[in-house]
Amino acid sequence: MEATPARRPSRLKVWMWAARPKTLWAAFSPVLVGVAMAAGDHAAHPLSAVLAMIGAVLIQVGTNFYNDYADFEKGADTSERKGPLRVTLAGLVRPEAMKRATFVTFALAVAAGGYLMWRGGWPIVIIGVSAILFGLLYTAGRYSLSYLGIADLFVLIFFGPVAVGGTYYVQALTLPPEVLVAGIAPGLLSVAILLVNNIRDVDEDRAAGKRTLVVRLGRSFGVGLYACCVGTALFVPVALYLWDGSHPWAMATVALLPLAVASVRKLRAVRDPRALNPLLGETARLLLLYSLVFSVGWIV
């Protein structure tokens, strides 16, 4: 855990730390892809796009708040923590306040999604409710997703095809299959972010009974899966082009391969858990860059 500052930080800074801004690209990026694909099909709906973005980010923030609270309550976060500061553990926010903030944030997400649920109907209601439910189940309860080691699958689904497909659907009110395929890439890159986190925290997770894939199958497996995720993601637009022969400029994502290779090499070489913290940000930036390059290429 990072040291608590000698002088108590402002409340705004504390809540910014709790929101974990670097992780929010995982919520922003698939929505951007869905917006771009709708625009490329001349089906853009600006109000729906903006509300989808707000709702996705709020759900991610709420999930981060609850993760901060639940890991503290379960004892998974200790003074030996090597990752970024957890404000509940540091005594900067009372557990009750963090729990309350979680549900306020999720309520705001529901409010932002009200119009989307009216416009998109039951499919969007199901997506919204499921996203909040699994945001809580990520760390809530004895059989939480992260403790069972199946969180990676849900990250792939909800930060990938569900987020991209849902964003496209609330604009176009249709859902071509290629949109769901395109969603696989941001989902894989979001899994890569989670893998860096789990490789860094493997010893703490094992001691806390948190059975992540890295705890179950080892560090080498985690590094290999990370390489598979980032490598496969960059070539998803190639598969889309081979499928229907359209949007060739979206394949420019392959140009990000040197960045992906450098990240894999760093993950394989670095053994000091604290030294992996910058790689979390780098992987999140790779996700953002992928989404920007894909989105521009798709619209062009």
pLDDT confidence of residue 77:
59
CA distance 3 to 212: 26
CA distance 244 to 154: 28
Are 187 and 160 within 8 A, CB to CB? Answer: yes
Helix, strand, or coil (residue 176)? coil
Task: Provide the 8-state DSSP code for 235.
Answer: T
CA distance 240 to 261: 22
Q: Which amino acid is at 214?
A: V
pLDDT confidence of residue 137:
82
Query: How many CB atoms are located within 10 Å of the residue 295 CB?
Result: 20
CA distance 159 to 31: 9
Residue 35 is encoded by which pair of tokens?
């917006």
Separation of CA 64 from chain center: 10
Q: Which long-range contacts (CB under 8 A, 24 or more apart) does 145-148 make?
A: 146/210, 146/212, 147/209, 147/210, 147/211, 148/211
pLDDT confidence of residue 134:
86
Question: In this structure, what are the phi and psi dihedrals at residue 5, rounded to the nearest 5 degrees?
Answer: -60, 145
Helix segments in the chain, DSSP class H: 11-19, 25-40, 46-74, 95-120, 122-137, 145-148, 151-158, 161-172, 177-182, 184-200, 202-208, 213-217, 219-234, 236-244, 257-269, 277-299
Domains and their CATH numbers in the chain: 11-299 (1.10.600)
Task: Provide the 8-state DSSP code for 4.
Answer: P
Helix axes 95-120, 122-137, angle to 10 degrees: 160
pLDDT means over runs of 10, the chain (300 residues): 58 91 91 97 96 95 90 68 77 92 95 95 93 82 73 92 97 96 97 94 82 90 96 97 95 98 96 90 96 96
pLDDT confidence of residue 113:
93
pLDDT confidence of residue 250:
97
pLDDT confidence of residue 161:
97
pLDDT confidence of residue 5:
46
Burial of residue 270 (CB within 10 Å: 0-12, 13-18, 19+) is middle
Residue 29 is encoded by which pair of tokens?
């990026």
| Residue matched to tokens 């189940």 | 137
